[in-house]
Amino acid sequence: MNTPVVDFVRRYAQQRTTRMHMPGHKGRGPLGCEELDITEIAGADELYEAEGIIAQSEANATQLFGTARTYYSTEGSSQCIRAMLHLALQMRPAKAGRPVLLAARNAHKALLYAAALLDFDIQWLWPAPDAAGALCTCPVEPEALASALDELAAEGRTPFGVYLTSPDYLGFVQDIAGLSAVCHAHGLPLLVDNAHGAYLHFLKEGSRHPIQLGADLCCDSAHKTLPVLTGGAYLHLGPSVQADEAAVRNALALFGSTSPSYLILQSLDAANAVLADGFREKLDICRWRLGMLCRELDALRPGLALPLTGAHREPLKLTLDAAALGLSGQQLAQALRERGVECEYADPRYVVLMPSAESSAAEFACLQTALHAICDEAPAADVSVTADDPAAFAALTGALEAQPRRFTIREAVLAPQEMILAAEAVGRICAAPAVSCPPAIPIVVSGETVPPEALPLFARYGIEKAAVVKE
């Protein structure tokens, strides 16, 4: 597959043209990549008005992912999330009242900032009481979604879309096919934050990408699981989305810099060639190595590794339950760090490791050695050390659902605010979302009054201060 952006920039660098244009490094500098860092010069195309090499590269990505249209972002899935919500708002019927989005509660804070910028409300989908207990996960069954939509309809409220995060940080995958069917039966678009799942289209057994499963709009963080520089992302449109080219690019431009990184654009372009040539095989090798490691861990410490297979499990994310080792997630992460392995995420119970098709045999061997050593040295399983507390989440849910809303998300985010100790925030209006990062998932959302029930979870996730609206 051709790489028009990469080829153009390399030719330009080889020509040794006198650079009387931005950027100021003039192709030279201490990093060594400066000669490939350009701006929108003649022939380089323009990301938000693409008609040349960028448009050609995006057409390649569209073909690879099997979408109606795929667009590039150099500012991560956050930019794509805002853009697809903007598009969904534009598609809603005229004079439909104040816009409301139905969204699973484990959404990244980027959703809240989109709500503040676009001025819409969010009706939350909460996990069932028996499924609660982890901040990152919010399973939504099709029946529960249908019931929530019916309840909103009875109140005379029709959401402009349904928003889900899948896969989530712990590797849980929603039933996108079933949930999209419910959405479409109600005449609503399904929007999916697929930041962690760009690779799902390239599984040997067939695509599990949200677009192929019925999602209407979807974002992927290419850099999270594909060989792409940090910040590279995709906005995917499904066949049902009737938005013209200008509308989509304008939606992306509304939330993007007028100086997109050409290093990231080249990375996205180069990734197309990688994805088109043997990527499925490399991905399959990685999955085989990961499966072998999981089977070893199951033999050493049953319950340590969450399953990699199943309809609701992501196949390329190793999630470890530190309770099987009598440790907290943070303790397990530190033990790995001391043995030369840096994890993606750790919370009081879980550790998340994210290999990719680029992970080498030597890197897997290092991880294997580290985990074997930790298993040999760790005490016996003790769930009480790190036990999730479903009751704490259920109490928080009940408290938040029962309270009246005094501020919209937009009003709270844009209001004058102050940072105070979390313990002193009870009864105050949350301004900026109270999150730990990663995973950047709010415990209390902008505009909500902080209830006493939030304090145990603030403590659990290391949130010591909270931004509240000034009184």
Residue 72 above 80 pLDDT?
yes
* pLDDT per residue as tens digits for the range 253-309: 999 999 999 999 999 999 999 999 999 999 999 999 999 999 999 999 999 999 998
Residues 272, 308 share a domain: no
Residues 147, 226 share a domain: yes
Amino acid at position 272, single letter: N
Residues 410, 373 share a domain: no
- Rounded CA gap, 371 and 300, in Å? 10
* pLDDT per residue as tens digits for the range 135-191: 788 999 999 999 999 999 999 999 999 999 999 999 999 999 999 999 999 999 999
- 216 band by pLDDT with thresholds 50, 70 and 90: very high
- 133 band by pLDDT with thresholds 50, 70 and 90: low
Q: Which of 276, 309, 326 is the last residue of a domain?
A: 276
- 392 band by pLDDT with thresholds 50, 70 and 90: confident
Residue 200 is predicted with a pLDDT of 98
Residues 256, 287 share a domain: no
Residue 389 above 80 pLDDT?
no
Residues 380, 236 share a domain: no
* pLDDT per residue as tens digits for the range 326-361: 999 999 999 999 999 999 999 888 999 999 999 999
Distances (CA, A) of 75 to 48, 147, 229: 13, 36, 11
Per the structure block, which two tokens stand in for 385? 């050390």
Residue 136 is predicted with a pLDDT of 85
Strands 217-220 and 190-193 come out as parallel
Residues 296, 398 share a domain: no
DSSP category for residue 346: E
Per the structure block, which two tokens stand in for 6? 């990469």
Nearest to 114 by CA among 138, 89, 94, 96: 89
Residues 465, 351 share a domain: no
Domain containing 452: what range? 390-469
Domain at 425, CATH number: 3.90.100.10
Residues 105, 67 share a domain: yes
- 131 band by pLDDT with thresholds 50, 70 and 90: low
Residues 43, 19 share a domain: yes
DSSP category for residue 461: T
Residue 393 is predicted with a pLDDT of 83
Cα torsion 132, 137, 142, 147 to 10°: value is 50
The DSSP bridge partners found for residue 321 are 350
Residue 38 is predicted with a pLDDT of 97
Residue 378 is predicted with a pLDDT of 86
Q: Which of 276, 297, 321 is the last residue of a domain?
A: 276
Percentage of the chain exceeding pLDDT 70: 97
Residues 257, 208 share a domain: yes
Residues 270, 283 share a domain: no
Pick from 54-68, 81-95, 117-131: least confident: 117-131
Domain at 231, CATH number: 3.40.640.10
- The count of structural domains within the chain is 3
Q: Which of 254, 276, 298 is the last residue of a domain?
A: 276
Non-local CB neighbours of 152 within 8 Å, separated by 6+ positions = 100, 102, 123, 158, 159
Residues 121, 22 share a domain: yes
Residue 440 is predicted with a pLDDT of 79
Q: Region 215-228: what's the mean pLDDT?
A: 98
Amino acid at position 445, single letter: V
Please state the pTM of the whole predicted model.
0.95
Q: Region 204-233: what's the mean pLDDT?
A: 98
Domain at 309, CATH number: 3.90.1150.10
Residue 128 is predicted with a pLDDT of 77
Cα torsion 77, 82, 86, 87 to 10°: value is 0
Residue 384 is predicted with a pLDDT of 64
- 386 band by pLDDT with thresholds 50, 70 and 90: low
Query: CB pairs under 8 A, 24+ apart, for 21-24?
Result: 22/259
